[in-house]
Structure formats: structure tokens, C-alpha cells
Structure 1
Amino acid sequence: MTAPARSKASPLVIRTTNELQAWSDSCRQQGRTIAMVPTMGALHEGHLSLVDAAAKAADVVVVSIFVNPTQFGPGEDFDAYPRTETADLEKLKGHAVEVVFAPNAAQMYPDGFATSISVGGPSMGLETDFRPHFFSGVATVVAKLLLAARPHFAVFGEKDYQQLLVVRRMTRDLNIGTEIIGCPTLREADGLALSSRNAYLDAPARQKAARLPAVLKHVIVSLEAGAPVETALADGRAALERSGFEVDYLSLCDAATLGAPIPGHQRRLLVAARLGSTRLIDNMPVKAGD
């Protein structure tokens, strides 16, 4: 398959890994660098900012759209997760995307598929305490996507901060050869991080959701002013619960490893909390502490 230069108006849609590999091989033979933006679709401005960052990093951009079943557990929202491919393709017009890779589940996990990636390091704790299946599913599908597209770069958002570190660790450990680029979280005017799951929120819940980033900022102010970590975190959890959230975790971690904070190292404050049936995650940087 040749890799013709395409206009911003019309990305090529590829459905099979064989076609994607052929396209990637052609790009590489022409000396063109590739950046990939893996997504599960339901694209919003946060995704599009990753696409634009990818276009700055490489000659050509491929966006994947695949709702990955292996990262959903029993009772989670796999069936309800929004699938909006036609709208997603329309949103990508005007952005420098050459290819959209949109496989089905049978293409990614054919009959007899029996392999998964077990991850440790930054995957331990936080999301794993509540979704033990999640990062194995993420690592497996991301590895498959990177091996099919063979991008020089792959771009992920910092909103899923633990996922970003897990993918970065996985690609290094397996010598996949793709540089992982993390991009800052995009937010609504009231501070809520952009997320496809925000669509689940009705009007009252959406109004309450803005308390999540507001509480994070308040906790960070306390921490950077020298408040004891456990006191600041307990106050934050209490504030979220008063606002109607059920808190899975609110944790201060080392920014590089997600282990316990290390004196003099940058830190990260991470949260997962539920409003009704909608689970929201967020995180923000915290200055190095003593």
C-alpha cells in the first residue's frame, strides 16, 4: 500500500492490522515519521489537542478508534460506552490526520486469542485497587496497536496519568521503540477535565462535577503550604463526600513512579470518585515537598 499525502479533509479509514502494517511500512520506506493517537472514540477537544500535538511531532498522524473490551470488567460500561465513529471522523476533518484505524473486536482479538500483558511498577495501586483487570487490558491493546502501526511517537493525555506511566513503562520494558508523549489535560471553563464519560452526567450531576477539580486545587494549596499529607487528603475526601461524591481514592504519589512521595521530588495528586453511576478521574501536579 502506498502512503500518499492526504488533505486535512479526508483521512483514510483502515480496518485491518495487515493494511495498517502495510501503510506504516510504506511511510517508513519514504522516510516519513509516524505519530499515533490511540483512542476509544467519542472524540472531544481533548482528543483533538492530542491529534494536533501528534502532528507537530511527526510527518503523518494515525488515530485509532477502538472500544477495547479487555479493559472493561463485569458491570462496567462497555455496552453503554459511546460509539460515534461517523461523528468522530467528521471531527477529525480539519486536523492533520492521514489514517484512522478503526478495527472491530474480531480483528483485534481473533478466535483463539490467548495472550495478555501483565504489568507492574506504576500500575500498582490506585486504579488497580478498584479495577484489577484494567491495565492488563490497556497494555495488551496498546502493544497491539503500536506493533501494528509502528509509530515513532504515540501521544496520550495526562488526564489518565497512571495509564500514561504504565504505557511508558511497558514500551521501554518490551523495547517497542515508540516514544510516548504526554500532553496536559484539557478542561472545561469550570475546570472539569474533558472526558467522554462526562456525557453520562445529567445537569445537576454536571454542576456537582466541577467540585472535583476545585477540591484538588484546594488540597494542593494546603499541601504546598506545608499541611500534613494525611490531614490535607482527609479534608479533601470529606469535601468531595459533602459534594455528593463516593471517593475511590485521593492519593499523593511520586510523579515519576506513583510510589510514595520522595522528598525533593515532584508529586502528583490523583483522584477517582463517583457521582451516581458515573466514575470520574483527575490529577494535578504538586510541587516537590520536604
Structure 2
Amino acid sequence: MTSSSKIQILRTVQQVRQWRHQSLINNQSVGFVPTMGALHQGHCSLVAQSLKENDKTIVSIFVNPSQFAPHEDLNNYPRTLDRDLEILSNQFKNKSIDAIFVPKISEMYPNGIVLEVDKQRGTFVTVHGSSEQLEGVTRPQFFRGVATIVTKLLNIVQPTRVYFGQKDAQQCVVIKNLVKDLIIPTEVRVMPTLRESNGLAMSSRNEYLSKEIKDKSSIIYKALCNGENYYNDKIINHNQNSVDSKKIIKEIYDLIKQEPDFDIEYIAVSHPETLEDLDQVTPGLGAIVSCAVKVPKENSNEKARLIDNIILQ
């Protein structure tokens, strides 16, 4: 790893705090990009934004056990640390990342961590009101795990700004509410979803997919755009004051259903701040239109779960 020699690899909370203390002394801003590894261009776009907006940038790589249920794919989640470090070392030419935090589970969960919620011990963070719907219906412990690990990481790094991708729209809302409610002095920056050339949202879970299924999965974004075009047409060309959410959902549903092997888990039209279901979408407030679709994995009888969203203005 000679190419990463100028990037400090930090393994403990204490090392991160010492590193952060130095930037405080020097009055330098710190940008932070938390990841679970298996890095792709979507992550790199967040890092590039942080490099642009801050004096120092730190990236964390940690597959967080507490956001996985016992039946989910924690053990199979892609872990590509050497490749991730290579990407972070070589991707950014003008200005390099300053530090990478790669903690062990024992560092982040001193009491240990098991996947069964009722057997967990220690402190956990729940953001009520924006965690239970959408992704939270099928993954009830997911946002509790996300909120807990993000709180820990923000406490450790104490960044000026933290960066997330719009693809995880509900996660962004949960984290914004978390930072506001716990009065954490960090700005949450949400950056646009990066997409493959066919429109498929970049995701670590795309590694599960064959090229054929990746190509077919582009229908998810096309369908969301269908819903967006329907909304814009009604507002702009038909001078409507609002648009029925059910009709937007039907435009999306009808297109995705053309792929017989795809299972639609949900399509939702939600308030952009509270994530409550909206009956009507009105310009100005707008909406987050999101979906989860299960698609066949390569060489497996199982399915991978893809999420995506668009923002209506």
C-alpha cells in the first residue's frame, strides 16, 4: 500500500480524536464520508465534494452489524477493503484524502453486538416518526442501527460537514432529524444520486447482479422518471394545483411490472421532511417518490433488493 502512504489509516477512536484535535488547533474544517466499503463512483463523488468544501477529509469504512436483521445478508455483504483503500488512494489527483477510519466491531460496540434486538445490550438511538415507514416496514431495526452508528461516528469525528447520497432518501431524512434533535454541530450535505450509464442507481448491492439483470434493472429509474414526467405534465401543461399520488404511483408500477421476475416491495410518495404518505403532491412542497424492488441475483435463487427515488419539486 505504498500509494496510500500519505493517507493515515486510523484503527481506534483515540487515533481519530488525536487526528481531529490537530485540525481543531489549526482551525481547519473537516468533511466526513461514512461508508460500509465496497466503494463505487457514488462514494467517490461524495469524497470529491468533501475535498472541495473542506480543509481535511476523512472516510470511514465499517460494515455496521446493528442495521442488519438476523436473516439479512451481513455475512455476504461485499467486503473489499484492499480495493477500497486503493480507490481512495488513487482516485483523487488534485487533493488527497487525509485519513481513513477502519475500526473493529469491538471499537464501535464496546458491549459487543448480536443481531437479535431483544438480546442487544448498550445504548441505541431511535429516530421516531421517520424510521418506521418505507424501508422501516420490512427492515424494522435498520434505521435504529443506522442512527446509532451515525451518532457514534459523528461523536468520534466531530466533522464540520458529513456527506450522504440522495439514493438513500429515507436515511438522509432520518439523519437530518437525528442531527437536529440531538443538536449535533455538523452540517448534513445530501448529494445527488450517481447512476450507471443506463440510469441504474450506483449501489454496493449491484455487485450481486449479472450484466443482464443490471440492464433490466434500469427500468426502475425509467419508471420513476415516468412518474415525474406525469406530475410535471399535470402541473405545467394542465395547470393543476396538485396531482393525485395514486396516479403517480400507477405510472411507476405499470412500467416495473413489465419485468416478470421483479418483485415490487413498495412505491411511495412521501412528504420530503416527515416521510408521511401524501395523498396529493403540490408544487413548492413537492415529494420524495421512492421504491424498493427485488431483482434476481447472479447464480442464486435469492433476490437482491434495490432502492431508488426521485424528488418532485
Q: TM-score, normalised by structure 2?
A: 0.86
Equivalent residue, structure 2, for 1:150? 158
Query: Is contact 1:8-1:98 (8 Å) kept?
Result: no
Counterpart in the other structure of 1:263? 282
What is the percentage of aligned positions where both structures have the same residue?
A: 36
Which whole-Å CA distance do the structure 2 matches of 1:68 and 1:133 have between them?
12
- What residue is the counterpart of 1:4 in the other structure? none
Deviation at 1:130, TM superposition (A): 1.0
- Secondary structure at the aligned position of 1:252 is classed as strand
Structure 1 pair 8–83 and aligned structure 2 pair: CA distance change class (3 A): closer
Q: How do 1:1-290 residues align onto structure 2 when only pairs under 5 Å count?
A: 10-94=6-90, 95=92, 96-111=96-111, 114-226=122-234, 228-243=244-259, 244-261=261-278, 263-264=282-283, 265-276=285-296, 277-287=303-313
Quote the residue 1:3 is aligned against.
Answer: none
Q: SS in structure 2 opposite 1:210?
A: helix
Question: What is the CA deviation profile of residues 132-169 of structure 1, one whole-angstrom value per residue up to 9, with x for unaligned ones?
Answer: 00000000001100100111110111110110111111
CA drift of 1:55 comes to 1.1
Equivalent-residue separation in structure 2 for 1:214 and 1:158 (angstroms): 17
SS in 2 for 1:242: coil
Q: Structure 1 CA distance, aligned partners of 2:97 and 2:186?
A: 18
Query: Letter of the aligned partner of 1:109 in structure 2?
Result: Y
Show structure 2 runs of 5+ residues with no match.
113-120, 235-242, 297-302
Query: How many angstroms apart in 1 are the aligned matches of 2:196 and 2:251?
Result: 25
- 3-state secondary structure, aligned to 2:14: helix
2: CA distance, partners of 1:90 / 1:56: 20
Conserved 8 A contact 2:200-2:214: no
Question: Are the equivalent residues in 2 in contact too, given 1:223–1:229 (CA < 8 A)?
Answer: no
Letter in 2 for 1:46: G
Gaps of 5+ in 1: 1-6
The 2-side partners of 1:174 and 1:253 are apart by: 24
Tell me the C-alpha RMSD between the 2 structures. 1.7
Question: Measured at CA, do residues 16 and 168 of structure 1 come closer, stay the same or move farther in structure 2, by a change above 3 Å?
Answer: same
Output one character per residue of 1:180-226: Cα deviation in whole Å (capped at 9) or x when no partner.
10100011110001101001001321121111101111121122223
Q: Could you say if the C-alpha distance between residues 172 and 228 of structure 1 is closer, same or farther in structure 2, counting changes exceeding 3 Å?
A: closer
Query: How far apart are residue 8 of structure 1 and its match?
Result: 7.9
